[in-house]
Amino acid sequence: MTAFDLTPPDSAQRAALVAGLSSEEQRVLLHHGTEAPFCGVFLDNKREGVYGCRLCGLPLFRSSAKFDSGTGWPSFFAPFDPAHVGRVHDASHGMVRTEIVCARCGSHLGHVFPDGPPPTGERHCLNSVSLRFVEQGAAWPDPLRRGGAESARAG
């Protein structure tokens, strides 16, 4: 069970969070867009830390689970906590895939595929624009001002 509060932001909190997004972040996070491959800021990030939801700050993936999939998007074989990443059937664009979303705010993250490395065999393929990165040892952002686990340090 997660130590983070997964209660969705209320309408006022959500409006404040959305107001802080760029138009590209809104396109991807809120309208299920995809950034172009090989251009995301986190594709080649090698620093130690945790990747979280750009909108609500929920931790999503540890850098230790990141791998080079060759697809052009940051890829991870396992989430920070399985409860933090929701899965949605996606039959758009003439294909059937599994979309991944932030379990707290519902923001679009990317897709998960069954062709990743051990131990999970999964490839969580994410848009860099959907993420925020917190270096190991840095204070975790708490945009919803919830305290608790949100006031922990990344690691």
Q: Which parts are annotated binding residues for Zn(2+)? A: 53, 56, 102, 105
Which entry of 29, 125, 129, 144 is annotated as an active-site residue?
A: 125
Question: What is the chain's Cα-based Rg?
Answer: 15
Binding-site residues sit at: 53, 56, 102, 105
Burial class (CB in 10 A: 0-12, 13-18, 19+), 121: exposed
The helix/strand count (H/E) of the chain reads as: 2, 9
For tokens 């689970």, name the residue. 65
d(CA 8, CA 106): 8
Active site residue 39: no
C-alpha to C-alpha distance for 118 and 128, rounded to whole angstroms? 23
What residues are annotated to the active site? Answer: 125
